[in-house]
Chain A
Amino acid sequence: GAGVSQSPRYKVAKRGQDVALRCDPISGHVSLFWYQQALGQGPEFLTYFQNEAQLDKSGLPSDRFFAERPEGSVSTLKIQRTQQEDSAVYLCASSLAGREYEQYFGPGTRLTVT
């Protein structure tokens, strides 16, 4: 399909481990967003890219969270020294230029920190 894809779909990490979550946006979508969705809650914004530029990272909860999109397509969200409170579903969304408000979401990566 031509939708947003994310990998892995599930990740179990021991506390203190580093993890990397990948997002492949819809082809041609220059804008890319990361959200964190805790169990039973709505998605919470983490960061936003336009092409390779990270224009907004105000939602990243700590300096353990880092995102990149070096070539303006695939993006990686990295979490260092994972903590139990990082357990959540991490959603990636993409959109066309000029229509950032119309976001198409991937299936998410469910991260469980034990």
Chain B
Amino acid sequence: QQQVKQSPQSLIVQKGGISIINCAYENTAFDYFPWYQQFPGKGPALLIAIRPDVSEKKEGRFTISFNKSAKQFSLHIMDSQPGDSATYFCAASDRGSTLGRLYFGRGTQLTVWP
């Protein structure tokens, strides 16, 4: 059973546009929600993360929005650039009981056209 559900599977955005990727979870014990960026042939790289005590976190052009009651969170990439073209994974962790084990979504392949 997929612990974290991610959509869309693929996304095409014009340069300068906003990319939005959504994730949902069921396990209310999850208390850490990172997003990873992966380029072909590379390992995932931590992009930005949020804890459930805040509703939004912004780092540069990347923003996570978190809705605890709906058990959903999303990544917004503002002013999308061709260099942002990559696969993005949301993840979740229960820091208390699973010692850092990350549960990943299936990924979103983002293509930004120049």
Say whether A associates with B: yes
Q: Which bracket fits the contact residues of A?
A: 20 to 34
Chain A residues near B49: list those with CB within 8 A.
101-102
* Total count of chain B residues near the partner, CB < 8 A: 25
**Contact between chains at B44 and A105 (CB < 8 Å):** yes
Closest to A46 in B: B101
Closest to B36 in A: A105
Known: A101-B95, A104-B46. A42 touches B106 (CB 8 A): yes
In chain B, residues 84-114, which have Cβ atoms closer than 8 Å to a Cβ of chain A?
A: 89, 91, 93, 95, 98-107
Q: Which residues of B contact A (CB under 8 A)?
A: 6, 32, 34, 36, 41-46, 49, 89, 91, 93, 95, 98-107
Q: Which residues of A contact B (CB under 8 A)?
A: 4, 31, 33, 35, 40-45, 48, 50, 55-56, 59, 91, 93, 95, 100-108
